[in-house]
Amino acid sequence: MIEISVDRDYDGMRLDRFIQKAAGLGRNTAQKLLRKGEVRINGIRSEAGTLLKEGDTVRIYGAEEKKAPAVSFDESLGGVDVLYEDEFILAVNKPAYLPTQPMKGSRDCLSERVKNHLKPVVEEYGGRFIPAPVNRLDFETSGTVLCGKTPAAARALSEMLREERIEKHYTALCSGKLEKTLRLEDWAAKDSSKNRMVIYPERREGTSRMLGIYRGIGTCREMSLVDAKLITGKTHQIRVQLANTGYPLINDYKYGNRRVNDAFREEYGVERLLLHCSEVSFSLWYAPGSIRICCELPEEMKRLVEKIGFDRNKI
């Protein structure tokens, strides 16, 4: 029998997830024990979806606690550009061309760098909790990424993302003159065969809602700088919504204009998708008030928009 006391880091966690994390049980083993009634909270047989409270005592009969697997740290990887950090939250600036998660053939990614930065946290939890990004940015996209430094913080941030309670702003360079503010609401579904999103003006089976507000910051040479405020946050949302409205992102060959992109690359020698997560804000759950985390454009992007002819001071 395993007996575990629930501390504040696991307050509000589902019972099935808790016994997997805290006792190191596999998912199938955990589900089998729950079905057999071998898991009890404060002496009472409990269901998988029961939410735990700080101070609860969980007993697991017929199981042996397993050691967490050893966690390795690769000190040769680069560090992280910290935007904000406190006891619960870490916000970092992801550079373009660094994947958020490991890619085939390379271990270097933002997740590994965050793990290295928070090595004391990983060691404190004995390897059973590894802080990691809760939001992802595409390979070429730069900007703000959030991480929870405790299990409870990671759950809180993930829940706020799902419930659209984190406001996100992106800066993008697009084709065409966007001189007004657009409120775009669409319904989207993924075409897995082409790895792209397809949007529709009305809800259909298998679609999810996309809602964003796009404000032109400035125009120059048939291009626009745009502030994109995402209410939702779906795959490729900014790219597909702006392209569908006639303002495709520069260097976006999936949804954009090949002729425009080829000409831009030839003139400026820049190949990356010009998209940057410039700001996130949300209400704090562990203290009164809210937080706003800003991330300046990368210097190379600032130089580029200035070279095009935009006013750098207005970005």
- Comparing 121-135, 171-185, 244-258, the range with the smallest average pLDDT is 121-135
Compute CA distances 14 → 44, 52, 156, whole Å.
Answer: 15, 6, 13
CA distance 170 to 226: 8
Is-same-fold flag (81-162; 167-314)?
yes
Q: What is the pLDDT of residue 69?
A: 65
The two tokens of residue 294 are 């800003």
Percent of the chain whose predicted confidence (pLDDT) is above 70:
98
* β-strands 167-175, 223-230 pairing: antiparallel
Q: What is the pLDDT of residue 277?
A: 97
How is the chain split into domains, by residue range?
2-60, 81-162, 167-314
CATH number attached to the domain at 167-314: 3.30.2350.10
Judge whether 77 and 61 are in contact, CB under 8 Å: no
Q: What is the pLDDT of residue 165?
A: 95
At residue 80, does pLDDT exceed 70? yes
Run of H or E including 181: strand 181-191
* β-strands 57-60, 2-5 pairing: antiparallel
Percent of the chain whose predicted confidence (pLDDT) is above 90:
75
pLDDT in tens, 217-227: 999 999 999 99
CA distance 18 to 15: 5
At residue 98, does pLDDT exceed 80? yes
Residues forming beta bridges with residue 191, ordered by sequence position: 196
CA distance 138 to 94: 10
Segment 97-101 shows an average pLDDT of 94
- Comparing 10-14, 94-98, 144-148, 182-186, the range with the smallest average pLDDT is 10-14
Segment 89-106 shows an average pLDDT of 92
Highest mean pLDDT among 21-30, 62-71, 303-312: 303-312
Q: Which residue has the tokens 């990887």?
A: 77
Q: What is the mean pLDDT of the chain?
A: 92
CA distance 83 to 34: 42
Segment 213-240 shows an average pLDDT of 95
CA distance 63 to 75: 36
Asked whether the CA dihedral 294, 295, 301, 306 is positive or negative, the reply is positive
Per DSSP, the three-state class of 174 is strand
68 pLDDT tier (thresholds 50, 70, 90): low
Run of H or E including 262: helix 258-268
Query: Which CATH fold would you assign to the domain 2-60?
Result: 3.10.290
Q: What is the pLDDT of residue 66?
A: 62
At residue 106, does pLDDT exceed 90? no
Q: What is the pLDDT of residue 4?
A: 87
pLDDT in tens, 124-170: 888 888 999 999 999 999 999 999 999 999 999 999 999 999 999 99
22 pLDDT tier (thresholds 50, 70, 90): confident
Backbone angles phi, psi at 24, to 5 degrees: 70, 25
pLDDT in tens, 263-286: 999 999 999 999 999 999 999 999
At residue 41, does pLDDT exceed 90? yes
Backbone angles phi, psi at 212, to 5 degrees: -150, 155
- Scored b (16 or more CB within 10 A) or e, 206-245 reads ebeebbbebbbbbbeeebbbbbbbbbebbebbbbbbbbbe
Please tell me the pTM assigned to this model: 0.84
Domain 81-162 has CATH 3.10.450.50: no
312 pLDDT tier (thresholds 50, 70, 90): confident
Separate counts of helices (H) and strands (E) for the chain: 8, 14
